[in-house]
Amino acid sequence: MMLWLKEGCNLAETKKYREHSYLDIALENAIVGMPGIPDEAIAWVNLREIILRGFRTEGVYHYGDATLVVKTANRGSGIEFQEWQEVIGGAPNIAAMLKIYNLVREGRIPPDGDWEALPCYDDKENP
């Protein structure tokens, strides 16, 4: 989970991307609590997680100001076959990110749309 900090916020152990400061923290640390990081210092929270089991329906999930995208990926075949889901999201604060992440993992909210149900179009039909 990446905590993007507001301009002028100086906290220990921050990293820089271009002119923006951020903290890269483990999801587990965010669940336990992040002492010393006030909500007022956070501009935006990004999440990128891998789910190895307990898959959810692929799609875009919204809850309040938070958004998560869930998509399934795989590689290999036979004994070497591996499948996982990638969860990518953004929220205005840690609490909003944890809320939507938990709701999705618990299966308590549906995606806004089912990507499998979307029609496929030939490139010739839709340039």
Tens of pLDDT, residues 71-90:
998 888 888 888 999 999 99
CA angle (102, 103, 104) in 5-degree steps: 90
Helical (H) or strand (E) element with 16: strand 15-17
pTM for the whole structure: 0.74
User: What average pLDDT does range 1-13 have in this prediction?
Assistant: 73
How many residues comprise the chain? 127
Please state the domain extents for the chain: 2-116
What average pLDDT is seen over the chain? 78
Question: Does the structure show a pLDDT above 60 at 25?
Answer: yes
Residue type, 103: L
CB 31 within 8 A of CB 74: no
